[in-house]
């Protein structure tokens, strides 16, 4: 299959062009494209949400998204991946994250799309703050997997 | 030795800044670095159990020793998506 | 949640407007939209495919798609569903089936999208004929679940 | 009694038509209807194990008795999607 070089991994500060991304992963050899669109909803924990703000540890987030992408290709018989997260202020209904995965057959496309969003939500350093009529709060998040106590030997960059 | 420290989300709000540069004794561990900020910002203590540390953009154990030029962050639970 | 009255269930003979369908299921209460796009790929069982032709038992296919839609709403905490299958001749790369599901949270949207395409491929009377350089053949299909030997009492329509 | 019979996919190609109307003895079952077409088109016999019957747009057992005005089809394995 075509290598991951064509994959799209981005953090953006403007609206995400979901149509272009879904089209970008698609090739004649593909029989399936699965997408996931995460969008800003108008309520959270019983309160009406006015808008959201996302921030990221951008360099690390991009590295983690790239790791997910590599893992997708090693785990699933897929072709192309697009994975884009938006940062900054988002109005209700706007897309915060969009993932598209193409594959010759449907099961890997669907499995990989799901694995991608589940893993992104667990491991990519991005934070959401929810703004309500009466205040704002950081969303409950997920604790990334704790590394083993053996120090990593990765050199300073 | 000098390390760079980044703050995000709730931690950034408590510390009141997005990044810092700090002088540490050679061989200091991430948990010692965190202790320095906890002294300056006691509100951090309550969040310690929910934080994960990173070193040079990789999740790292709190016991990881630091080297000069390292980039460290104390990451709240992530909530992207 | 908004009732299924807004759902879109169609068989069409022209290209499927996937962008409009994905947008149609989305409301301010939704935090997730999962889609599945099945498209005509350029190979099948090791042979190069030139084009496809789909035919359906249209009245029964629409009834079965409607049943799937009702089951989605009863099984998953979802909001809107669009499920459209194209019939007739399809060129390589064109979309044969498109499913979009919206929900407040991601898991039901993803689960329902997958359940929908898996069930459609098993139970909806649609047939695909693959045209190759050296002939044409009906695609291997799936045997729908056999009904029990107790005759159904549904009256003639 | 009269029933309407529809043919799709490979079955349509073997029978050479998309639909038919046929006179049956009252109380005839779907399998008896199928037998009539199998006599006319022996190639159908090989496909019988992979066919599913429908009656009035619902999957139906081969033993289902038919009523006047019923719509019956012999459905090959489905391959939509």
Query: What was the pLDDT predicted at A48?
Result: 96
| Interchain proximity C28–A42, CB inside 8 Å | yes
Residue of C nearest to D2 (CA): C156
Instruction: Give every strand in the sheet of C81-86, ordered side by side.
Output: A8-12, A81-86, A95-103, A32-39, C32-39, C95-103, C81-86, C8-12
Q: What is the mean pLDDT of residues C61-70?
A: 98
Q: What is the mean pLDDT of residues A124-139?
A: 96
Query: What was the pLDDT predicted at C5?
Result: 55
Residue C134 parent element (H or E): none
Query: What was the pLDDT predicted at C75?
Result: 98
Query: What was the pLDDT predicted at C110?
Result: 98
Touching chains D and B? (3+ Cβ pairs < 8 A) = no
C-beta of residue D77 within 8 angstroms of C-beta of residue D10: no
C-beta of residue B51 within 8 angstroms of C-beta of residue B75: yes
Touching chains A and B? (3+ Cβ pairs < 8 A) = yes
| pLDDT > 80? residue A103 | yes
Per the prediction, chain A carries an average pLDDT of: 92
Kind of pairing between the strands at A135-138 and B19-23: unpaired
SS3 content of chain D, % helix, strand, coil (to 5): 30, 30, 35
Q: What is the mean pLDDT of residues D18-26?
A: 97
Per the prediction, chain C carries an average pLDDT of: 92
pLDDT band at A5 (very low <50, low <70, confident <90, very high): low
Strand, coil or helix: A119: helix
Q: What is the mean pLDDT of residues B24-50?
A: 97
Cβ within 8 Å of D, C 63-92: 63, 85
pLDDT band at A28 (very low <50, low <70, confident <90, very high): very high
| pLDDT > 90? residue C63 | yes
Which pTM value belongs to this model? 0.93
| CA dist., res. D77 & res. A8, Å (int) | 38
Which residue from D6, D59, D65 is facing C144, i.e. has the nearest CB? D59
Taking the Cβ of residue A144 and every Cβ of chain C, the question of whether any pair is shorter than 8 Å is answered with no
Per the document, the length of chain A is 157
| CA dist., res. C100 & res. C35, Å (int) | 4
| CA dist., res. A135 & res. A109, Å (int) | 40
Query: What was the pLDDT predicted at B51?
Result: 97
| pLDDT > 90? residue B40 | yes
Chains that touch D (3 or more CB pairs under 8 A): C
pLDDT tens by residue, C84-98? 999 999 999 999 999
DSSP D22: E
Residue D58 φ then ψ, to 5°: -130, 140
Q: What ipTM was estimated for this complex?
A: 0.93
Give the pair of three-digit tokens for residue A38.
């995460």
Query: What was the pLDDT predicted at C151?
Result: 45
pLDDT band at A16 (very low <50, low <70, confident <90, very high): very high
Written in H, E and C, the secondary structure of chain B is: CEEEEEECHHHHHHHCCCEEEEECCCCCEHHHHHHHHHHHCCCHHHHHHHCEEEECCEEECCCCECCCCCEEEEECCECCC
Q: What is the mean pLDDT of residues A66-73?
A: 98
pLDDT tens by residue, C18-46? 999 999 999 999 999 999 999 999 999 89
Query: What was the pLDDT predicted at C154?
Result: 47
Q: What is the mean pLDDT of residues C60-73?
A: 98
C-beta of residue A132 within 8 angstroms of C-beta of residue A54: no
Per the prediction, chain B carries an average pLDDT of: 97
- Among C49, C68, C125, most D C-beta atoms within 10 A, so best to mutate, is C125
pLDDT band at A151 (very low <50, low <70, confident <90, very high): very low
| pLDDT > 60? residue D66 | yes
> How many Cβ pairs within 8 Å bridge chains A and C?
87
Query: What was the pLDDT predicted at B11?
Result: 98
| Interchain proximity A124–B60, CB inside 8 Å | no
Handedness of CA C153, C156, C157, D5 (dihedral sign): positive
| CA dist., res. C21 & res. C2, Å (int) | 17
Per the document, the length of chain C is 157
pLDDT tens by residue, D51-60? 999 999 999 9
Q: What is the mean pLDDT of residues D28-45?
A: 98
Q: Which residue has the higher pLDDT, D36 or C5?
A: D36
Q: What is the mean pLDDT of residues A15-28?
A: 97
Which residues on B lie below 8 Å from A125 (Cβ)? 8, 54, 73, 75, 78, 80
Query: What was the pLDDT predicted at A149?
Result: 54
Residue of D nearest to C85 (CA): D81
Side-chain-side CA neighbours of A21 within 13 Å: the count stands at 24
pLDDT band at C4 (very low <50, low <70, confident <90, very high): very low
């Amino acid at each position: 299959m075509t290598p991951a070089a064509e994959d799209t991994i981005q953090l953006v500060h403007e609206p995400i062009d979901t149509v272009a991304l879904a089209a970008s992963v698609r090739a004649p050899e593909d029989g399936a494209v699965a997408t996931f669109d995460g969008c800003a909803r108008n309520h959270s924990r019983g309160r009406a949400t006015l808008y959201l703000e996302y921030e990221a540890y951008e360099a690390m987030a991009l590295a983690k998204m790239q790791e997910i992408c590599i893992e997708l290709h090693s785990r699933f018989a897929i072709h192309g991946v697009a994975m884009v997260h938006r940062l900054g202020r988002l109005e209700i209904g706007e897309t915060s994250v969009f993932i598209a995965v193409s594959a010759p057959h449907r099961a890997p496309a669907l499995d990989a799309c799901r694995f991608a969003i589940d893993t992104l939500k667990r491991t990519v350093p991005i934070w959401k703050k929810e703004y309500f009529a009466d205040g704002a709060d950081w969303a409950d998040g997920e604790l990334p997997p704790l590394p083993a106590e053996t120090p990593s030997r990765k050199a300073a960059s | 030795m000098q390390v760079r420290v980044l703050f995000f989300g709730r931690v950034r709000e408590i510390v009141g800044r997005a990044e810092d540069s700090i002088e540490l004794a050679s061989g200091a561990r991430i948990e010692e670095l965190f202790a320095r900020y906890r002294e300056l910002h006691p509100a951090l203590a309550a969040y310690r159990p929910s934080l994960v540390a990173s070193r040079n953009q990789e999740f790292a154990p709190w016991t990881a020793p630091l080297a000069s030029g390292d980039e460290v962050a104390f990451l709240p639970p992530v909530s992207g998506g």
